[in-house]
Amino acid sequence: MRIQNKQAWLAIPMQILRMALNWSRDQRRLLAAGMDGVLCVIAVWIAYSLRLGVWELFSRPVLTFAAATLLFWYPIAYLTGVYRSLIRFSGARTIANLAIACTILAGPLMIAFVLFRFPEVPRTLTILHPIIFLLLLASSRIVIRFALLDLLHSVSPDARRVIIYGAGRAGQQLALSLRHEPQIYLVGFVDDDLRLAGQRLDGVPVFSSEQLGKLLDDTDVDEVLLAIPSASRMRRREIIERLQEEQIYVRSLPSLSNIIEGSVTVNDLREIQIEELLGREAVAPNEVLMGKTIVGKTVLVSGAGGSIGSELCRQILRCHPARLILLEQSEFALYAIEQELTEMTRAMDADIPIILELGNIAERSTPMRIYRNHRPDTVFHAAAYKHVPLVEANPISGVRNNVLGTLYSVEAAEANGVSHFTLISTDKAVRPTNIMGASKRVCELILQARAERPDVATVFSMVRFGNVLGSSGSVVPLFKAQIAAGGPVTITHAKITRYFMTIPEASQLVIQASAMARGGEVFVLDMGQPVRIIDLARSMIQLSGLSVRDTDRPEGDIEIVETGLRPGEKLYEELLIGDNPEPTNHPRILRARESRWPWKELEAELQALETIIRGSGDPALAIRIIGKLVPEYTPDTAWAARISTATS
């Protein structure tokens, strides 16, 4: 009964406080000014009492001194910005500002009551009053902040209960920001430093990481906020995997630079990025290699609007080329990347011309015209059709764009004095089971064969890597959309694995590999360990604060459904055809040893392939030639039957 009476007693002041929060800023400022006026008069009474030993509330000297202090206080408060800061966000700076204002107040009081003597007004009041007034002002700010933030916050029934993992500077800044969020209640900190366990930070308890599981069970926490921006990727992965087991929603703070700048807010929190589960430390790019073929050069990127092409453009722009030429077939993709790069040049305060070329490289005249007009020094050839099932269903279009587009670009590069030409290849070119991968292997063969010719001055090289996280058509954005829609999450096979790398890291390595090329190399990027797609799906579901629904957990939130391998899809991808790759000067870049075709023999097959594509358009005949050029290619069963029929 006593508890109910206490809650009823708290309800009225809580309601008044909530009403005050809804007032306009001007109304709250007037209220603060009126409250300070009352405190100013109270400070006069206290000062008189301490000085004379008696309480005189309304005598003539008291009223005179009170009127003078009010007259001086409000102009000083206005000039020093006392009422420009919000009381509910009061901190050390607010108290310091009040101290400055009260110190200034002592000046006119001394002039008025020391130089111009007033009967029965002690001169010591001019010092005593500002001190007492400051104490009352500071106390009022602290009490109001507690009432508005801590008391109101703690009794909010709808507040999300959160834990901050990390009690360092980042965690403390985040905790301060959370105090201003009425719908979030901070249960405590968790930190790996055992010395902090049992301590309190601004009244909030700190727990050791060993207590995390029990803490989540006992406190009914809704969310964990990671505030460990300086932790290694391996350590972050360990923490995230541990939290996955608890099936709790996890968000993370951004990079360390935001913490250093002291700008951490709740709005900086983001969902866990899947690249944080790779568990591999990124290697800082070699600035010499990054700039060798770019700084002061005319650089062309084909497929500039794609996932890899657009990131290449961003990285290239940061290296300050003389000009950047964007070659793209999609009008919208070209427009989008041009807008972004233009904004980048403004932010960099750099005068780098960005030239847009809308064209189809599968038409021989297009790359020849563009290369002749702009005379690029360095070319990154990222234009390709890469979606395996789509190319499998449209082989002529895929081969035409990938193979002929590369062939025509190579011819244009040689004819117009390109210094370095780098092909963006794929792990699907290794022992391919699909047309897309086989066509990319033919592209590699073209560059290898041309690089062996003694009359070719262009340095041709190719860089082969696996999937990049977040690229168009990849599983990560698909899984995110499926989870947001309530599932199911679809995978093609429970045993399927893929190599993954972030787009920025892949693009930086491509640029550095290009700088190391001497001609004809197949560079292979170190992709780390392959990832099981079903594990990736489970991780994304669990990090969303949801559970996987399966036979062991029929009450789970999201189901994972197998749909079967798509045409041309492999369970496992590889990065090497041969064995014993050679190391390079970069720890993440290897040089592969691959078989080659002499140019004269390859040229004859390419001419036959071009005739079929431009003529009959028979996919079986085209794929038969692809199979001859890439003997490791094992086509899909349906295509194998059609090729056999076409051959007979």
pLDDT over 70, % of the chain: 80
Region 535-540: what's the mean pLDDT? 82
The CATH topology of domain 160-272 is Rossmann fold (3.40.50)
| Position 464 pLDDT exceeds 70 | yes
Region 61-72: what's the mean pLDDT? 81
Which listed CATH number (3.10.50.30, 3.40.50.170, 3.40.50.10440, 3.40.50.720) goes with 287-629? 3.40.50.720
Sheet hosting strand 160-165, strand order edge to edge: 200-201, 204-208, 184-191, 160-165, 223-226, 249-252, 270-271
Region 46-71: what's the mean pLDDT? 77
- More reliable by pLDDT, 137 or 473: 137
CA gap 102, 112 in Å, rounded: 16
pLDDT of 602 reads: 93
- The model's confidence at residue 582, banded by pLDDT at 50, 70 and 90, is confident
| Residue closest to 91 by CA, chosen among 33, 38, 37, 149 | 149
Assess whether the region 160-272 and the region 287-629 belong to the same CATH fold.
Answer: yes
- The model's confidence at residue 216, banded by pLDDT at 50, 70 and 90, is confident
Q: Which two tokens stand for residue 404?
A: 């002929």
CA gap 436, 447 in Å, rounded: 17
pLDDT of 19 reads: 61
| Position 7 pLDDT exceeds 50 | no
pLDDT of 4 reads: 44
Region 553-569: what's the mean pLDDT? 81
Region 203-232: what's the mean pLDDT? 80
User: Number of C-alpha atoms within 13 angstroms, CB side, residue 218?
Assistant: 8
Mean pLDDT of the chain: 80
* Placement of tokens 């959160």 in the chain: 162
Of 274-288, 417-431, 530-544, 589-603, the range with the lowest mean pLDDT is 274-288
pLDDT of 554 reads: 81
Type and span of the H or E element at 71 = helix 60-79
Give the tens place of pLDDT for each residue, 73-104: 888 888 877 776 655 545 566 777 788 888 88
- The model's confidence at residue 6, banded by pLDDT at 50, 70 and 90, is very low
| Position 604 pLDDT exceeds 80 | yes
| Position 5 pLDDT exceeds 50 | no
pLDDT of 435 reads: 93
- The model's confidence at residue 36, banded by pLDDT at 50, 70 and 90, is confident
Region 463-483: what's the mean pLDDT? 77
Give the tens place of pLDDT for each residue, 321-364: 999 999 999 999 999 999 999 999 999 988 999 999 999 999 99
pLDDT over 90, % of the chain: 27
Max mean pLDDT range (162-176, 365-379, 448-462, 551-565)? 365-379
pLDDT of 91 reads: 58
Active site includes 428?
Answer: yes
CA gap 395, 404 in Å, rounded: 13
Contacts of 126 (CB under 8 A, 6+ apart): 106, 109, 110, 113, 114
* Phi, psi for residue 515 in degrees, rounded to 5: -70, -25
**Residue 35 is which amino acid?**
M
Choose, from 292, 297, 386, 428, the residue flagged as catalytic: 428
Domain ranges of the chain: 2-153, 160-272, 287-629
| The CA-based dihedral angle spanning residues 125, 131, 133, 134, taken in that order and rounded to the nearest 10 degrees | 160
From the CB of residue 183, how many other CB atoms can be counted at a distance below 10 Å?
Answer: 9
| Position 372 pLDDT exceeds 90 | yes
| Position 315 pLDDT exceeds 50 | yes
